[in-house]
Amino acid sequence: MSDASNEKTNTMNQTIEQIIQRQSRPRLELPAPNEAELQLVLRCGLRAPDHFRLKPWRFLVLQGAALIRLGETFQAIKAKELGELSEAQVQKFLNMPLRAPMIIVAIANIQEHPKVPPIEQAVAVGCAVQNMQLALASMGYGAMWRTGDLAFNPAVKEYFKAQEKDEIIGFLYVGTPAGPVKELTEQAIEEAVEFWS
């Protein structure tokens, strides 16, 4: 094999290894990616496959005071919805966005298109989130993709200046991984795949 093709094979193997080894990391702390690293992560997100190049995404990168404000917003929205919150619930909602030093909110800005239904636009944004998770892992950062009922809450959408038709595809929690690494689980191919010929 030529040097050039050897290099290609090695690069592919490293990529595959990183995809297989990636794990969600629920415990995340400072430091978050710096500006240059974040730019690379976002560029990877924006390279996601995207039918008709609709660019159906909007990403909000929240850090510092924006995370505190988001917790206050979650708490206020839930208090309004449920009437009253226990002290434990208040703390839960306030602290939710403080589980990482950075959150990337991925929003599908759903457009009407004769050939690209909403599900394809949402999938494209999901691909962007996964591209970003993989980029972060390759840089040594940890990430965890979360949604939960707040991601589907109209008042939360409104807070992010999204429209009713739009979807919050995920809150990508980002930071330096802390805590133990869980055992990697890999589904058996035959459990999920059929081979037809």
Ligand X SMILES: Cc1cc2nc3c(=O)[nH]c(=O)nc-3n(C[C@H](O)[C@H](O)[C@H](O)COP(=O)(O)O)c2cc1C
The amino acid that residue 131 corresponds to is N
Q: Which is nearer to ligand X, 117 or 148 (CB)?
A: 148
Residue 125: other Cβ atoms inside 10 A: 25
Between CA 33 and CA 18 the distance in angstroms is 18
Residue 167: other Cβ atoms inside 10 A: 23
Q: Which is nearer to ligand X, 75 or 133 (CB)?
A: 133
Between CA 138 and CA 140 the distance in angstroms is 6
Minimum CB–partner distance for residue 156 and ligand X (Å): 13
Minimum CB–partner distance for residue 190 and ligand X (Å): 19
Q: Which is nearer to ligand X, 4 or 188 (CB)?
A: 188
Give the binding site for ligand X (CB under 6 A).
Answer: 23-24, 144-148, 170
Minimum CB–partner distance for residue 63 and ligand X (Å): 20
Minimum CB–partner distance for residue 3 and ligand X (Å): 36
Minimum CB–partner distance for residue 137 and ligand X (Å): 10
Q: Which is nearer to ligand X, 35 or 185 (CB)?
A: 185
Q: Which residue is nearest to ligand X (CB)?
A: 24
Residue 107: other Cβ atoms inside 10 A: 22
Nearest residue to 136 via CA among 90, 189, 174: 174
Between CA 8 and CA 158 the distance in angstroms is 46
Q: Which is nearer to ligand X, 32 or 144 (CB)?
A: 144
Helices (H), the chain: 3-21, 35-45, 65-82, 87-95, 118-138, 154-159, 189-192
